[in-house]
Amino acid sequence: MGNCQVTFLPHNRAITVPEGESLIRAAMQAGVHINASCGGEGVCAKCRVQIEKGTVTGGLSDRFSAEEAQRGCRLACQARIGGDVTVRVPVESAIDRIVFDKQFTPRRTARIRQMNFESLKERGLFIPPVEKTYLELPLPDAQNNMPDVTRLIEYLKLQGNEHKLEMTIPVIRRLPSILRENQFKATVTLVRPVRDDGKTLITNIQAGDTTAENYAIALDIGTTTIYAQLIDLSSGESLAEAGDFNGQISYGEDVISRIIYAEKPGGLETLQKTVVATINKVLGIIIKQAGVSRQNISTITMAGNTTMTQLLLAIDPRYLRRSPYVPASTLYPPFQAHTIGIDLDEHVIALLYPAIASYVGGDIVAGIMGTGLYRDDELTLFLDIGTNAEIVIGNKDWLACTACSAGPAFEGGGIEFGMRASTGAIEDFSIDPVTYEPMLVTIGDVRPKGICGSGLINMVALMFETGVINNRGKFNRDHGTKRIRANRGIWEFVLAWKDETQIGRDITLSEIDIDNLIRAKGAVYSGCMTLLEEVGLSMDAIERIILAGGFGSYIDLEKAMTIGLLPEIDPDRVIFIGNGSLMGARMSSLTNRIRKDVVEVTKRMTNFELSETPSYMDHYVAAMFIPHTEIEKFPGVKRRIKAWKDLQAIPGR
């Protein structure tokens, strides 16, 4: 399927989208507002547009007259783009085209960047942490009957210039028979030490030449989901990837409830076994998908937050949730994966990403390592936003981190119609600056069921820019729209009328919902501010933002800046890395450079406990506005507010 150019009139705004995309999503992406409430099911029939050139499929409605249909009337939510198209959007006011051009900003999500194997090689950072070497040993005879281990190690010393070798007992156990299986031709797996003066471990021996097959597993152990990748260590490619819900969810949704469960008799053991069961399930899937033999899996690298890490190792997590929030350890030594129940062969060595603090865990460290920000010059803000937000600021010279409780707003929690990002969630939003009619885009293009995090941010941002709410998140009660109303004393905005929804009730956004979002974004922003202040810098110093975690992928950067979740920065300098934990695990499967560096990084990353930093509360209070008390820091927002005002002031409407 090719790409098509879609031109919207009267805006005269063009965008390139894949063939088959719906017109309404193309419009949203282009920053073109079209009234639409029913999420694409065609029931509201508000999103009528006219195709002036090119072809679309679908989008006809029995509400159109034959003549209308004939001259190109279609429902934007149901019409799919079939080639280059020119579409006219009916506007209810005589808005100058020039204003349109100034006004609308196309939806802008972060660039996705993933480190890869080739870039590692190019940058000279590729040091294989696990290698296979094929050996053809001289056969033993009466004159040379040295022990099997000695024969092998001497050969590696002389032929491979390998030193400080150590063979594990399980390998020694298999050595005599494996060597004799194929005339002393065999392949050994060498696991490199993390410290330069450490030992190289010989962890596996296989008959014949198996060097072509050498695999690693990268594993992200999330509180909610567990993802695994199977990586070919020769090519650096990911051969398979799978994920599943962490079985521990049955014992509590968040880390705190898991810790509480772990404190019950037998609870820790249950949680440990449960997470391992999920891991084994996911591993089973990727190993089957990739069609590789378990014998050829050499290593597994895992990353998870501090609670997940301690639960995986059956380390009592009770002190993680009690002041002064002390984790058991940062670094964990490598260990045999099977010893904790992971269904991999005895030879597989597991590496676990170190944590920094109780609420800045191995998942964050993995993101830092995987992005390489610890080696870069640019001062970077690394953000992983969920119920907890982890914040890292730094570069090659210094690193500071903290965590704050953002509350569940970004995941749809604490919002009356909030929901997780699943089918029926309003994920994108636009509003007519004059009529205040909304344009809703839902996941799955179905009638709305609720609002997910990214939708929430977009709503609040646009409502603020267009003056629907003020900088404290209160509705302008004077707007002449029935969508703004008081409901049992609480002001709200009706996003979709009950007939347009799946739930048979009006879906609204209330001042309480907005307040929750402000608190959440205020917590994150003031966390960043506090961290910067502690190192003597201000927000202007940030040269780059890296977003990690599922949330970051859907965020409209401009909107996130409008509400003051992110500082204002050129969107080109915002990078989205997706699952940073999995990425870091993959990267350190590929190069020992990262495994070596991580020890250093954990040492130089300073953790700040916000609750112990007096200025945090001041920053928090200052951040309880949209975008912030100091709007001067957000010139873009100011500019956009002005543009909306100009638009709204055009006479003749």
Positions in the binding site for a copy of itself (CB under 8 A): 140-151, 166-169, 172-173, 175-177, 180, 197, 313-316, 318-319, 323-333, 335, 355, 357-358, 609, 611-612
Rounded Cα gap, residues 450 and 420, in angstroms? 9
Structure tokens at 594: 């990262």
Distance of closest approach, residue 126 Cβ to a copy of itself, in angstroms = 26
Between 41 and 609, name the residue whose CB sits nearer to a copy of itself.
609
Rounded Cα gap, residues 507 and 450, in angstroms? 7
- For tokens 């990911």, the residue is 238
Between 2 and 265, name the residue whose CB sits nearer to a copy of itself.
265
Between 79 and 194, name the residue whose CB sits nearer to a copy of itself.
194
Distance of closest approach, residue 328 Cβ to a copy of itself, in angstroms = 5
CA-based end-to-end distance of the chain: 42
Distance of closest approach, residue 404 Cβ to a copy of itself, in angstroms = 16
Q: Are 215 and 128 in contact (CB under 8 A)?
A: no
Q: Among residues 161, 156, 207, which one has the least CA distance to residue 184?
A: 207
Distance of closest approach, residue 377 Cβ to a copy of itself, in angstroms = 29
Rounded Cα gap, residues 531 and 219, in angstroms? 30
Distance of closest approach, residue 142 Cβ to a copy of itself, in angstroms = 4
Between 324 and 652, name the residue whose CB sits nearer to a copy of itself.
324
Q: Are 73 and 79 in contact (CB under 8 A)?
A: no
Distance of closest approach, residue 114 Cβ to a copy of itself, in angstroms = 30
Q: Are 430 and 409 in contact (CB under 8 A)?
A: no
Distance of closest approach, residue 357 Cβ to a copy of itself, in angstroms = 7
Rounded Cα gap, residues 451 and 421, in angstroms? 8
Distance of closest approach, residue 359 Cβ to a copy of itself, in angstroms = 11
Between 111 and 199, name the residue whose CB sits nearer to a copy of itself.
199
Between 45 and 535, name the residue whose CB sits nearer to a copy of itself.
535
Distance of closest approach, residue 611 Cβ to a copy of itself, in angstroms = 8
Between 116 and 606, name the residue whose CB sits nearer to a copy of itself.
606
Distance of closest approach, residue 355 Cβ to a copy of itself, in angstroms = 7
Q: Are 233 and 215 in contact (CB under 8 A)?
A: yes
Distance of closest approach, residue 617 Cβ to a copy of itself, in angstroms = 15
Rounded Cα gap, residues 13 and 350, in angstroms? 53
Q: Among residues 279, 273, 261, which one has the least CA distance to residue 317?
A: 261
Between 359 and 374, name the residue whose CB sits nearer to a copy of itself.
359
Q: Are 111 and 544 in contact (CB under 8 A)?
A: no
Between 71 and 603, name the residue whose CB sits nearer to a copy of itself.
603
Between 207 and 643, name the residue whose CB sits nearer to a copy of itself.
207
Distance of closest approach, residue 168 Cβ to a copy of itself, in angstroms = 7
Between 79 and 610, name the residue whose CB sits nearer to a copy of itself.
610
Cis peptide before 627 (omega within 30 of 0): yes
Distance of closest approach, residue 387 Cβ to a copy of itself, in angstroms = 21
Between 304 and 627, name the residue whose CB sits nearer to a copy of itself.
304
CA separation (Å) from 471 to 436, 552, 563?
18, 24, 9
User: Cα-Cα-Cα-Cα dihedral of 330, 333, 337, 338, to 10°?
Assistant: -110
Q: Is 346 exposed, middle or buried (0-12, 13-18, 19+ CB in 10 A)?
A: middle
Q: Are 349 and 200 in contact (CB under 8 A)?
A: no
Structure tokens at 370: 């995987």
Rounded Cα gap, residues 430 and 191, in angstroms? 54
Distance of closest approach, residue 374 Cβ to a copy of itself, in angstroms = 19
Q: Cα 178 from chain centroid?
A: 44
> How many alpha carbons lie under 13 Å from residue 242 in its C-beta half-sphere?
16
Given its phi and psi angles, is residue 25 left (phi above 0), alpha (psi -120 to 50 degrees) or beta? Answer: alpha
Between 490 and 599, name the residue whose CB sits nearer to a copy of itself.
599
Could you write out the three-class secondary structure of 614-645? CHHHHHHHHCCCCCCCCHHHCHHHHHHHHHHH
Any long-range contacts for 42-45 (C-beta under 8 Å, 24+ apart)? 42/75, 42/77, 42/78, 43/447, 43/499, 43/500, 44/500, 45/75
Between 174 and 485, name the residue whose CB sits nearer to a copy of itself.
174
Q: Are 350 and 335 in contact (CB under 8 A)?
A: yes
Non-local (6+) Cβ contacts of 71 within 8 A are 50
φ and ψ at 383, to 5 degrees? -130, 130
